[in-house]
Structure 1
Amino acid sequence: MTADLSELIRTRLKDPRVGFASITRVEVSGDLRHAKVLVSVMGTPEEQKETMKGLKNASGFLRHELASRLTLRYMPDLSFKLDTSIEEGARILGLINQVEQEDRERARAAEEANIAEQANTKEVE
């Protein structure tokens, strides 16, 4: 269902509000009546909000199109939720890179201080 839904959004959905959206996961209820579609949207918070509105408005169209592609007894109702896990992962990776850079700078400063101290010790001898 994820691949079909991604393709429909990319090729058939003409809503200009829907920007660069990627389906990250689809969670279907046990009775197959409801599907929560997690969507990652690249862009500003306003663009993300507009994309989610566009997807919500297109849910009936997307559900109808999925029904013609999938063989299911019931076509689940689609609810779209913004998935921020990719953004959160990028933020955490940035923090890790920042800490690593600070550690390298501290190590370099400590090494330079050690070399200067050794040079001063040799001059005193």
Structure 2
Amino acid sequence: MAGERQARVADRIRVVLAERLEKGLRDPRLGFVTITDVRVTGDLQHASVFYTVMGDEAHRNDTAAALKSATGMLRSEVGKNLNTRLTPTLEFILDAIPENADHISALLREARERDESVAGLAASASYAGDADPYVKPREHDDLDDDEDEDDAQGEEVRDDRA
């Protein structure tokens, strides 16, 4: 039950913060911010707010400073819109999802290129031994034919399994 409530509170905090940031803060340092996730502790006392910022490292640093200075105002906004006894403290954490996604995309692209080069080598490769690597059926020996004829003449073949 606590997990469901945590999820509902986290979703509500995310919506309230996103709406407030969409309206805008009066801080020129604030860049284009997207709230990606909110995680709330079990006792609903602390909320970790993950965000991403479009731009370079300077924009990220300016946005982090703007969010840190606006934390009190944003917390009071959350408190007004949240029906809990206590308003959770807010901690803003820069989300590394875009950088991780770019890194994973680069790794997948590199793996695809290697697969294509290996497929090209495999197409032009030839077998190391015979063209047909599978075992060919044995030729019948004269001894095998004699045993088969004895079985056909009516000799009993014993089965010791019974």
- The TM-score, its normalising length taken from structure 1, stands at 0.77
- For the pair 1:98 / 2:110, whether they are aligned, the reply is yes
1:75 aligns to what SS in structure 2?
Answer: coil
| Aligned partner letter, 1:49 | N
Once the two structures are superposed, what CA deviation does each residue of 1:24-71 show, in whole Å capped at 9, x if it has no partner?
211212222221111122221221111111111111111111222221
Distance of 2:54 and 2:76 partners within structure 1: 26
Contact 2:16 2:77 in 1 (8 A): no
| Aligned partner letter, 1:102 | R
- Which residue is 1:57 aligned to? 69
- For the pair 1:20 / 2:36, whether they are aligned, the reply is no
Distance of 2:124 and 2:31 partners within structure 1: 50
- For the pair 1:70 / 2:82, whether they are aligned, the reply is yes
- For the pair 1:89 / 2:107, whether they are aligned, the reply is no
| Aligned partner letter, 1:7 | E
- Which residue is 2:7 aligned to? none
1:97 aligns to what SS in structure 2?
Answer: helix
Higher strand fraction: Structure 1 or Structure 2?
A: 1
What percent identity do the matched residue pairs reach?
Answer: 38
Distance of 2:110 and 2:27 partners within structure 1: 39
1:32 aligns to what SS in structure 2?
Answer: coil
Bigger Rg, which one = 2
Higher helix fraction: Structure 1 or Structure 2?
A: 1
2:55 to 19, 28, 43: 43
> Mean Cα displacement is larger for which, 103-112 or 13-22?
103-112
| Aligned partner letter, 2:87 | M
**Considering only aligned residues, what root-mean-square deviation do their CA atoms show, in Å?**
2.0
- The TM-score, its normalising length taken from structure 2, stands at 0.62
Which structure 1 residue ranges, 5 or more long, are not aligned?
115-125
1:101 aligns to what SS in structure 2?
Answer: helix
